[in-house]
Structure 1
Amino acid sequence: MELSNAGDHFSTQMKPHSSTPIVNNEANTIRITHRSERRFLTRLLHLILRPFNNHLGRPSKPHPPGSSPLKPSNAIRKHCSVTNRRDEATGIYIADLRPLLTPEAKVTKHIYYFCGGGWQAPATAQHWQTCSKLARQMPNTAISIVSYPLAPNDPAPKTFPQSLALYRRIMAQSVEEDHRVILAGDSAGGNIVLAVVLEALREDFEADAATRPPCPVAIMAISPSTDLRRDNAEIEKIKKHDPILTPLFIKSTARAWAADWDPADRRLSPINADISLFARAGVKVNGITGGYDILGPDGRLFRDACAKAGVSGEWLDWDKQMHCFLLTWPYGLPEAREAMGWMIDVLKEV
């Protein structure tokens, strides 16, 4: 796949052989774009980060209980208007981003983004910049960041039901406002969107109803955490290459989020849910994985399970890239910028 960017715009131009269907899937519903480059700037970043991999992104103290309003930097407000609102039923705050140049454009698509951070940290500057880029480059699309309550004060047994209730309200609102919904998230956020949608679909298909509630048209999962058991043997093999995550850290964040739930519970580990529900509901599942990410093997297992279940989607699999490498695009790393362009192009087609 050849990718190019000009100024503030990222775009992708794919060669026919660069995006290939996964094996053992006659319907060719999952298509994977494989990349393997690791340029000098990325190598340098990995070397710089490795000595600090037990400290990066770790909150110094627990996040306060409940959902908190999100605070963008002044740099974000130069390009986007940001409105914080609180969902009255769930108490969850949502920040809506709209580009300043086209604030009145008709919205036909709405992306709700759940930020990663080990289920313990709020949105970072990189999350804000990524969502601002989506708002500016995706016509007729509203972008919202969801401030879900965080562990350890609000682990999954408390937050998951709230997130599921918020999902129901988002989908009902999409019918009222006549727009398509995409749920997106990175790492822990990717875990939540996958698990919440699968649980909602399970409830919907088990209900004896003439009509089923609406569901998203697509999901975008960036380096998602898909199995909180953390027992994949590949984790130990990859840990020497991962510049930011360690087995100790991902096990500790999983424990904090799970609390007294079994880590194998489908609401924690979407790999254990009925993934065929996505295919039955027509939800496309797209994603990004990196080869130097110890969560990558579980992400690829989830992708393969989607393929076997006949789920449609586009996946970018980039060897020698770290966890959530896409989020480093503001620093000029070419692989991250190209991954951002790939994601924007995929989301535009949904």
Structure 2
Amino acid sequence: MRKTQGKDNVVHSGTRHHHRGRSPQSMALTAGCRIIVKNAVRLWALQPNLHWPFDSIDRIAGWAPHPPAVSIRRVELPTCPAELVCAPGTSARRAVLYLHGGAFLTCGLNTHRSLVARLSSAADAEILNVGYRMFPSYGPSAAVADALDGLRWLLRRGYRDHEIVLAGDSAGGYLALATALELLHRGRTPTAGVVAISPLTDLDSAHRLAQPHSRCSMFTARAMTAFSRYLTAQRRGRFNRRIVSPVDADLENMPPVSIHVSTDEFLLSDAELMYRRMVDAGAQCDLHLWDGQIHDFPLAADILPEGRRALRYVGDFVKRVTPASVEDAVARDYARAASL
């Protein structure tokens, strides 16, 4: 544990957790990703502007049955769809706004419904899963705007800022961090915390490519370079409004952050750099390092024991940073009744 002095002489800490050992399921999944996913990513790197079949992935995932006994309510935000997901037995004393991964290009509500349902149970929380706008029509700034619309919806539902956590995986991890920073930029009260799973935190790929990541089972150096160039081209075009790297922002007033990442993936350096910048800024950050996992491994929690364990840690973090009181519950119930 590393401790620093923050504002008003309050001691903040950064804590690293190293999770060793691999399940047989993890080894099999890694081998499968090397054959299927890594080769698909290689093909994308040759033609980054090719959006099919990536824009079909979420549609195909929609054919899967919904998680059993889970309450799923369709929500229409001003510019995008969302789902309110609540696992059986959840008290709904707190909420998570979830932003899916997919390189700002793919995935959506369908691909992440099972993960969100598991997180609802682990965190004892309602989850607003946001199907934010993506490339090629919209950039990350539009996705952050959609996340802010989702937060407004949760506030109207009766939740307060200190009862809400922002969360996301991969590109969604970037968006969760960027949304918290946008709240601070606007002088707004930040949420209770942020969860980032295998997050992109630096839009400059130089430090990432300098690291040896031949063990990554999903991405190649060429693919990461192509993605960086694609994102840079979009930033220089019509999507250049406040697209920032979280690692380069003023992090002093950030809420507590919990990061989970594999030690074998390309975005390990992004996670470690974000952790160091958070701690150096005097903010609270927990970094969980998982040996031998694929990128964004909690997404495979249905078959992966490590993914289920990681989501339990995420749930514990959400509950820790969102202590509920009787007064909060009464105010929330009143707001919900008034909205009926």
More helix by share: 2
Query: Aligned with 2:75: secondary structure?
Result: strand
2-structure distance, mates of 1:185, 1:41: 24
Query: Which residue of structure 1 lines up, in the alignment, with residue 70 of structure 2?
Result: 80
Query: Which residue of structure 2 lines up, in the alignment, with residue 8 of structure 1?
Result: none
CA offsets 1:238-294 (integer angstroms, 9 cap, x no match): 33100011223233334444544269997331111111131xxxx111111111111
Partner AA of 2:33 in structure 1 = L
Tell me how far 1:73 sits from its aligned partner: 5.5
2-structure distance, mates of 1:237, 1:111: 33
| Residue 261 of structure 2 corresponds to residue 277 of structure 1 | no
Tell me how far 1:31 sits from its aligned partner: 1.5
Query: Which residue of structure 1 lines up, in the alignment, with residue 104 of structure 2?
Result: 119
Tell me the TM-score normalised to structure 1 length: 0.76
CA offsets 1:293-348 (integer angstroms, 9 cap, x no match): 111112111111111111113221123322112222211x3322322222222222
How do 1:73-112 residues align onto structure 2 when only pairs under 5 Å count? Answer: 75-88=65-78, 91-99=79-87, 101-102=88-89, 107-112=92-97
Query: Which residue of structure 2 lines up, in the alignment, with residue 151 of structure 1?
Result: 135
Query: Which residue of structure 1 lines up, in the alignment, with residue 337 of structure 2?
Result: none
- Between 1:27-36 and 1:260-269, the stretch displaced more is 260-269
1-structure distance, mates of 2:130, 2:23: 33
Overall identity of the aligned pairs, in %: 21
2-structure distance, mates of 1:93, 1:163: 9
Partner AA of 2:164 in structure 1 = V
How do 1:326-345 residues align onto structure 2 when only pairs under 5 Å count? Answer: 326-331=298-303, 333-345=304-316
Query: Which residue of structure 1 lines up, in the alignment, with residue 203 of structure 2?
Result: 228
Query: Aligned with 1:215: secondary structure?
Result: coil
Structure 1 residues 70 and 154: alpha-carbon distance in aligned structure 2, compared to 1, 3 A threshold:
farther
Tell me how far 1:237 sits from its aligned partner: 3.8
Query: Aligned with 2:32: secondary structure?
Result: helix
| Residue 36 of structure 2 corresponds to residue 60 of structure 1 | no
Query: Aligned with 1:289: secondary structure?
Result: strand
| Residue 284 of structure 2 corresponds to residue 301 of structure 1 | no
Structure 1 residues 172 and 136: alpha-carbon distance in aligned structure 2, compared to 1, 3 A threshold:
closer
Number of positions where the alignment pairs a residue of Structure 1 with one of Structure 2 = 305
1-structure distance, mates of 2:144, 2:216: 33
2-structure distance, mates of 1:167, 1:87: 7
2-structure distance, mates of 1:161, 1:323: 23
Aligned partners of 2:99 and 2:168 also within 8 Å: yes
- Between 1:186-195 and 1:78-87, the stretch displaced more is 78-87
Aligned partners of 1:54 and 1:246 also within 8 Å: no
> What is the RMSD computed on CA atoms of the aligned residues?
3.2
**Unpaired runs of 5+ in structure 1?**
1-20, 205-212
Tell me the TM-score normalised to structure 2 length: 0.78
1-structure distance, mates of 2:122, 2:53: 36
Partner AA of 1:166 in structure 2 = D
CA offsets 1:202-248 (integer angstroms, 9 cap, x no match): 231xxxxxxxx33210000000001111111x535433100011223
2-structure distance, mates of 1:325, 1:246: 17
Structure 1 residues 259 and 160: alpha-carbon distance in aligned structure 2, compared to 1, 3 A threshold:
farther
| Residue 103 of structure 2 corresponds to residue 128 of structure 1 | no
Query: Which residue of structure 2 lines up, in the alignment, with residue 17 of structure 1?
Result: none
Query: Aligned with 1:54: secondary structure?
Result: helix
